[in-house]
């Protein structure tokens, strides 16, 4: 992440210019998916929650809910190398969604991007894409710069 050189960045009502990037409650989905190859789908989905010390019962519930909403619940025991590219993309997306971040940044999700589950649509999503059609699948409002 880059340092802020001018202006102000707000997430909700909070000014976050001086807040470290990892503490801003922003979730990103990278173009290469960045899945942990030694972890199962379930472990990949749970990882961010475990790092935040969320209780195990809540983690299990969120993993199940997110996996079902992305239609990957039947893949929870598989490792990333056993998945198709589209399935890997859904796992990466699910890992970000499971955290329930304030801001969601999906990066260059291609034409095979899964539809965004309803429980994510109320959050701030900033799709980093040149595709207006894809942006509309993520957002209610779009600002073009």
Confidence of residue 60 (pLDDT cuts 50, 70, 90): very high
Distances (CA, A) of 121 to 17, 53, 55, 57, 109: 25, 25, 25, 24, 16
Which one has a higher pLDDT value, 145 or 73? 73
Residue 15 is classified by DSSP as E
Strands 26-29 and 103-106: parallel
Which one has a higher pLDDT value, 18 or 140? 18
* Helix or strand (DSSP H, E) at 127: none
Distances (CA, A) of 58 to 47, 49, 61, 104: 13, 9, 5, 20
Q: Show Cβ contacts of residue 97 under 8 Å, excluding neighbours closer than 6 positions.
A: 27, 66, 69, 70, 104, 117, 119, 120
Question: Going from the N-terminus, what domains does the chain have, and what CATH number goes with each?
Answer: 25-138 (3.40.50.300)
For 21-56, write each residue's pLDDT tens digit: 778 877 777 666 789 999 999 999 999 999 999 999
Confidence of residue 145 (pLDDT cuts 50, 70, 90): very low
């Amino acid at each position: 992440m880059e340092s802020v050189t001018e202006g102000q960045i707000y997430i909700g009502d909070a000014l976050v210019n001086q807040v470290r990037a990892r503490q801003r409650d922003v979730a990103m989905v990278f173009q290469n998916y960045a899945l942990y190859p030694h972890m199962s789908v379930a472990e990949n989905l749970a990882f961010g929650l475990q790092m935040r010390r969320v209780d195990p019962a809540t983690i299990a519930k969120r993993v199940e809910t997110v996996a079902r909403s992305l239609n990957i619940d039947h893949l929870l025991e598989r490792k990333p190398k056993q998945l198709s590219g589209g399935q890997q993309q859904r796992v990466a997306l699910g890992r970000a969604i499971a955290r329930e971040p304030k801001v969601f940044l999906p990066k260059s999700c291609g034409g095979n991007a899964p539809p965004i589950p309803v429980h994510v649509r109320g959050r701030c999503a900033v799709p980093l894409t040149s595709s207006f059609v894809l942006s509309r699948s993520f957002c209610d409002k779009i600002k073009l710069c």
